[in-house]
């Protein structure tokens, strides 16, 4: 006697949870009690898989082009002793988007205006741009971890009070994931590790070579530049899965 309903034939749960053994043939000859046991087992595996996936979910922040400045760069572009003013706080503690902006000038005199400065001031200056930005500026931007600027692209930063030329500092930021100590332990992540992150949806993709940064002060979050985010239809606050 056939015991599979139309819904059972279409749902795909058996395949989805790895159920094997000729389910259709076996189901046709089982008693109701056996079917109940199978249903319970399948649902348990489905719930377990969903629970496991949920525990690996991480929110995303899409990082638009921005500039980090040193005290010296801020003095040169905004005037000696000038202090950044806060526009709004960012998700990582202590970091903020400033009201101040700079013009980024490339080697062929192409420029991008009003690039946001992020505070507070740092010990290094860099412009974090996308590949699309590099095309607009007429320059090749290497992929770098933040602050690892050796061999990066030369850029000029222009502010209302002056300009500064940097021999290094133009980069495309390496995909990275921030994690606090508890989240890192839960996800079994270590500082400096690289992981893969899966984006679900119509433009599903797996991002490889995602650098993990672990610190007591960090909030769990993956950072993507606008090119990577647009390619996968990712928006701020979307959840992605560490695989």
Q: Tell me: the pLDDT tens digits for 227-238?
A: 999 999 999 999
Predicted confidence band at 29 (pLDDT cuts at 50, 70, 90)?
very low
- Measured CA to CA, the distance from residue 58 to residue 221 in angstroms comes to 6
pTM > 0.85: yes or no: no
For the ranges 5-9, 77-81, 141-145, which has the lowest average pLDDT?
A: 5-9
Alpha-carbon distance of 101 to 119, in angstroms, equals 11
Please give the pLDDT value at position 108: 85
Give pLDDT, residue 55.
Answer: 80
Give the span between the Cα atoms of 12 and 142, in whole angstroms. Answer: 44
Q: From CA 143, how far away is CA 171, in angstroms rounded?
A: 6
Query: Residue 52 has what pLDDT?
Result: 52
Q: Give the rounded distance of the alpha carbon of 226 from its chain centre.
A: 10
């Amino acid at each position: 006697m056939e015991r599979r309903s139309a819904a059972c034939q279409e749902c795909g749960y058996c395949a989805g949870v790895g159920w094997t053994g000729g389910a259709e043939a076996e189901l046709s000859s089982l008693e109701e009690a056996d079917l109940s046991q199978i249903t319970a087992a399948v649902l348990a595996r489905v719930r377990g898989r969903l629970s496991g996936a949920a525990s690996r979910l991480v929110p995303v922040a899409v990082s638009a082009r921005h500039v980090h400045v040193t005290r010296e760069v801020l003095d040169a572009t905004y005037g000696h002793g000038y202090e950044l003013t806060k526009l709004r706080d960012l998700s990582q503690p202590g970091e903020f988007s400033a009201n101040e902006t700079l013009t980024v000038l490339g080697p062929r005199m192409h420029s991008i205006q009003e690039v946001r400065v992020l505070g507070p001031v740092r010990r290094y200056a860099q412009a974090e741009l996308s590949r699309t930005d590099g095309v607009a500026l007429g320059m090749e931007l290497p992929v770098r971890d933040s602050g690892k600027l050796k061999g990066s692209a030369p850029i000029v930063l222009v502010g209302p009070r002056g300009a500064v030329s940097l021999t290094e500092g133009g980069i495309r930021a390496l995909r990275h994931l921030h994690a606090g100590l508890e989240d890192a332990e839960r996800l079994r992540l270590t500082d400096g590790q690289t992981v893969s992150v899966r984006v679900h949806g119509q433009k599903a993709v797996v991002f490889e070579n995602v650098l993990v940064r672990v610190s007591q002060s960090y909030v769990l979050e993956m950072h993507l530049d606008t090119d990577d985010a647009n390619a996968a239809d990712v928006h701020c606050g979307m959840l992605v899965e560490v695989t």
